[in-house]
Structures are given as structure tokens and as C-alpha cells.
Amino acid sequence: MCGRYASTLPPEMMTELFKLLNRVEMVPRYNIAPTQPIVAIWEAEGRREAHFARWGFVPNWVKDPREFPLLINARAESMSEKPAFRDRVKHGRCIVPASGYYEWHTGPDKKKHPYYITRVDGQPMALAGLYSNWIGPNGEEVDTVATITVAANPQLSVIHDRMPAILLSENQQDNWLNVRDVRAHEAAQMALPLEDGALKFHPVSTRVNSARDDDAGLIEPVELGKPEPAAVKPKKLAGGGQMDLF
């Protein structure tokens, strides 16, 4: 399960790296949590653009999102069969840009400690995801997203048994977003664990447990068992109040 991540890529770099036709303004985020607004990229009518969306997928057939389970992840092995996701595997694939993500490991003392996981080469991550446009009874619209998870590779399995599906190459990203020409079963074959050695990780502050904390200190390495640095005042979220609907 991937339940927290960081995204610090400057808007101009995101536009260039992912070949976007637009630009979104978002401050660096170090502790993005479910239900918060995130940046997701998808193609529609031949246009590849970035959008603000709610992290917490809501199928378009749901009547009241407040009574629907919070779906932040879709398992790659079953997404094509699940009623919530199967249509979006065909028509609603997206990418979630990230700098790294957090996972919690339960140690011998039975306590969970967070680790920050990034690419070895320092490049941004392109997390494979699915998006849906939910339209309410009064015409209100909210874009929602789930990130896709796969079985962890041997290297990451020492921390957790799942990891995000990460699209490394430009060709993979292009094909994942190309819902016109690339069929669902072809796209699903790209949602695979990365090979050992592609990622690295280190323990970080337990402050990441609180979504109220959002600062650069969260991704800094800590020594387990040592006192942790104090929090700093968090920045305001980008994306405004567009997620206030639910």
C-alpha cells in the first residue's frame, strides 16, 4: 500500500518532463495524504494535461461519495476485474508525478517506522494511476484518482509486501496514457515491480505519521532510536477548496 508520498518537482520541470500542454502551480509537498488534492496527468481528446484531483477514487456511478469506501490504491492483479476500476483501466489511465513515497515497516519491537523511498538515479517517479470524473446530483464535478500497486520486489519486500507501479521509461509513460491505441490488457502488462536496485530507501521521522506536518525535514534520514527534529510550520495546500465536496 502506498498511503503517503512527496512531490517537489517545479511546475516548469513537470511540464517539460511529461510533455504537458498546460502548467499547474503547486508548492512542494512532502507529506501528501489521502483525500487531499494531488496533481495527476492524463490525455483527453489528444491533449496531455495536468489536473488537480482528489486522492481517493470514486467511480462515476457512485451516488454519495461519503458513503463509499476510500479507494486510494488499485491492485494491478485485480484492477481489470473490479467493478470500481475495470472501465477506467480501459479509458481512464493517468500518471501521478512523485519525488518519492513513504512506507512503514514493523520492526522487532512491533513498532511501525516510516521509510522514504526514491529512485536511485534521483529522477522523479511516474506512478501509474486511474482517474474518474464524478458528477453529483447538482452538476458538481470532482476528478478523483487511485494509484496502482504491485507486489514488492525482493529489495522492497523487507519493508512492505506492496509497492507502487512506477513507469520508468518515456515509452512506458506514453503507452500508459494512450487509452486510444493501447488496450487495457497491454497497459496492465506495464504495471510490474521494478527490478532490485532501481530504488533506495532510508528511515525518516515519525512526524510523517501526521498529515499536518509537511516540510522538507520529513524526507531527511534519521537514525533509529535517536531524538527527532521538531516540526516546522506547514505550507498551505495547493488546489484550493475544490475538494470540499466530500
Nearest-5° angle of CA 121, CA 146, CA 126?
20
Distance of CA 65 to the CA centre of its chain: 20
**Using CB atoms within 10 A of its CB, is residue 3 exposed (0-12), middle (13-18) or buried (19+)?**
middle
Q: Which of 103, 140, 141, 186 is catalytic?
A: 103
Q: Please enumerate in sequence order all residues whose Cβ is within 8 A of that of 72, keeping only pairs 6 or more positions apart, or say none.
A: 1, 2, 3, 34, 55, 56, 57, 146, 147
Active site (annotated) includes residue 94: no
Could you tell me which residues come within 8 angstroms of residue 170 by beta carbon, excluding any fewer than 6 positions away?
none
Q: Which helix (H) or strand (E) holds 101?
A: strand 100-106
Residues recognised as catalytic? 2, 103
